[in-house]
Amino acid sequence: MKPLLGTLYLLGMLVPRGLGYDRSLVQHKNQVVDKTRSLWKNLETYSYNKYHPMEEIYLWMSQISEKHAEVVTQHLLGMTFEKRPMYYLKISQPSDNPKKIIWMDCGIHAREWIAPAFCQWFVKEILQNYKDNPRINRFLRNLDFYVLPVLNIDGYIYSWTTDRLWRKSRSSHNNGTCFGSDLNRNFNVSWCSIGASKNCQDLTFCGTEPVSEPETKAVSSFVESKKEDILCFLTIHSYGQLILTPYGYTKNKPSNHEELIQVGQKAANALKAKHGTNYRVGSSADILYPTSGSSRDWARDIGIPYSYTFELRDNGTEGFLLHETQIQPTCEEAMEAVLSILDDVYAKYWLSNTATKVTSTTVLLNLLWLFTSLL
Ligand SMILES: *[C@@H]1O[C@H](CO)[C@@H](O)[C@H](O)[C@H]1NC(C)=O
Ligand SMILES: *[C@@H]1O[C@H](CO)[C@@H](O)[C@H](O)[C@H]1NC(C)=O
Ligand SMILES: *[C@@H]1O[C@H](CO)[C@@H](O)[C@H](O)[C@H]1NC(C)=O
Ligand SMILES: [Zn+2]
């Protein structure tokens, strides 16, 4: 029944409504949806204070891009190991400006359910506010948001159907005797050198080679192809209440380490101002543990300047099983942190362009002065 769920869902997606596919399939699908309790008919009744199974997130993605077609489009990034489509949402206001990109992915680890909830919250907030909120409106003049709400779709579904604490993907190894790679150990950066395992039984199995997993490959190829334009790479996890900077694979620091810490600390302050929650800021190797092959380190090393991992609430009391009542405060405060990072990135990038303009004006004035004095 389990693989059927995805297939039925896909049928629902691909067959236009009203074309009349097998009634028993429809009934079966409805029963499945009933069981997952939140039958919702339109976006207005979609609850951002609940965790949603994957088929609802798929539906949410297509509905939100229909409803806000003027700014949101849905794009295929790739296919998972179990052949499910990976979609990202692009939020972009039409403009003649060349835009820069903010990347955000959630749910690379299956059991961290608050992460996909945050990606959905983030998209909702941007769409609700971009017209009237000058801060968000200004971002959208120069920035596009690319949001991948669930990176590890196969694992996420497995965590709903079979094992709530599943972390990895669902790729098959050792002749079908062992399942799943840790996708956040599978990126091509110091691959499997530290804080990762080559044993498929382990939680941190790094895969059979760098970028061996289709999900990792989909993200890597896409981000690589856009890297000149991506200013910010945000990857959302739980739990621990941390804002992590590169690196995990070494205690060495990237060239802009001080700035990353400063921007991160300011974000943690903005976060705390919302509900009083403490987040710590530092490099993964310094304040969490060593990790190799993570997407954050990889993104920084291909040249994306602002690369952060968020470890959302809590600090261990409920852990991965964070209660739904905490979704809203967790997302509200994390939203403040992300907006703070965007403020800084925005100011730095566009102010330094202004500075260039000032410099050329200065040069012009000097030339003028030189000209005048020659006369
Ligand atoms: C894999 O499993 C198949 C079927 O059980 C078996 O015939 C084959 O020898 C196995 N291969 C390896 C490398 O273990
Ligand atoms: C990994 O990166 C190295 C360079 O650091 C490159 O030579 C290699 O081809 C890459 N491998 C994959 C699978 O992308
Ligand atoms: C975790 O949260 C509790 C309650 O807010 C707090 O008392 C405790 O100091 C926190 N622990 C860490 C390690 O931050
Ligand atoms: Zn994680």
For 47-94, the pLDDT digits (tens) are: 999 999 999 999 999 999 999 999 999 999 999 999 999 999 999 999
CA-to-CA dists, residue 239 to 54, 182, 236, 267, 312, angstroms = 21, 16, 10, 17, 5
Host H or E run for residue 234: strand 230-238
> Other C-beta atoms within 10 Å of 308: how many?
25
Phi, psi dihedral angles at 308 (to 5 degrees) = -135, 145
Handedness of CA 247, 250, 252, 254 (dihedral sign): negative
In the chain, DSSP finds a helix count (H) and a strand count (E) of 11, 10
pLDDT digits (tens, 9 = 90+) for 165-186: 999 999 999 999 999 999 999 9
Question: Which residue's structure tokens are 């229909």?
Answer: 66
Residue of 239, 223, 234, 153 whose CA lies nearest to 188: 223
Ligand 2 atom nearest residue 211's Cα: 13
- Structural domain spans, the chain: 50-367
Catalytic (active-site) positions: 311
User: Quick check: CB of 315 below 6 Å from ligand 3?
Assistant: yes
CA distance 164 to 41: 27
Q: For ligand 3, atom 6, which residue shows the shortest CA distance?
A: 315
CATH 3.40.630.10 is right for the domain spanning 50-367 = yes
pLDDT at 97: 85
Host H or E run for residue 138: helix 134-142
Ligand nearest to the CA of residue 177, numbered in listed order: 1
Question: Which residue's structure tokens are 């939680």?
Answer: 203
CA-to-CA dists, residue 295 to 160, 224, 247, 341, 364, angstroms = 24, 12, 10, 19, 45
| pLDDT band per the 50, 70, 90 thresholds, residue 350 | confident
Is residue 26 predicted with pLDDT exceeding 80? no
- Report CA(165)–ligand 4 centroid distance (Å): 12
Q: How far is CA 293 from the centre of its chain?
A: 17
pLDDT at 367: 56
DSSP states along 279-342:
-EEEEHHHHT---SS-HHHHHHHTT-SEEEEEEES-SSSSGGG--GGGHHHHHHHHHHHHHHHH
The rounded mean pLDDT for the chain is 89
- Report CA(214)–ligand 2 centroid distance (Å): 16
Average pLDDT over residues 9-28: 38
- Report CA(65)–ligand 4 centroid distance (Å): 27
* Ion ligand 4, residues whose Cβ is below 5 A away: 109, 237
Is residue 98 predicted with pLDDT exceeding 70? yes
Ligand nearest to the CA of residue 209, numbered in listed order: 2
